[in-house]
Chains A and B, each alone.
Chain A
């Protein structure tokens, strides 16, 4: 799951 590693938090 690639989206899982999208770090969208700071």
Chain B
């Protein structure tokens, strides 16, 4: 495992921890899109179907368990926790799951590396992860004031994507036959979705003003 891959995993982990910390300590999920969180839970469920049959390393298995567990925990908090759920911004979080899930599933059926069930679900999870942040970005745009933790959550997620691209470039040059078009293209699309956010995030940080996305 190279440094980019490991740093990418760690920023991914940080994003989840920041979010859980916010929800757990402040007992608030203001500014967090339930739709995005539910899509992530679905992404991990579809991708880690092989968690018991395909052992890669202890690190991999533990990280998979963390991502699965935390994504369902976050969804549970927003939907079920009696205090947290009151802060959920239902009026602005109106993105329809199906608009993202259905096209991704059809695309996975059409474009995949191997048409086995697990392989199609894995491909579906890649496509869905690429666009799962959209409801969150839409919600951020509609929310006037983005609090620091929500901003950091999206920042860490974007950093994770950028580091994974560095990891693929590194692996391409250091490992023989390392070519994964589906992973790369969906990963690139996903990272580009953050570009706009990053621009405003750095600007607000540079000028030391509160993060606000233009409508």
Residues of chain A having any CB pair with chain B under 8 Å: 1, 4-10
Contacts and interface: CB of A to CB of B under 8 A. Distances in A.
Interface of B: 5, 9, 12, 47, 50, 54, 56, 60, 63-64, 67, 113-114, 119, 122, 164, 167, 177, 179-180, 183
Contacts of B180: 4
Contacts of A8: 56, 60
A10 B119 contact: no
B54 to A, nearest CB: 8
Q: Which 7 A-B pairs have the closest CB atoms?
A: A8-B56, A10-B63, A10-B9, A5-B114, A7-B122, A5-B113, A1-B177
Q: Chain A binding site: helix, strand, loop or mixed by DSSP?
A: loop
Given A4-B180, A9-B5, 5 more contacts: A4-B177, A7-B47, A9-B164, A9-B183, A10-B63
A10 B44 CA distance: 9
A6 B56 contact: yes
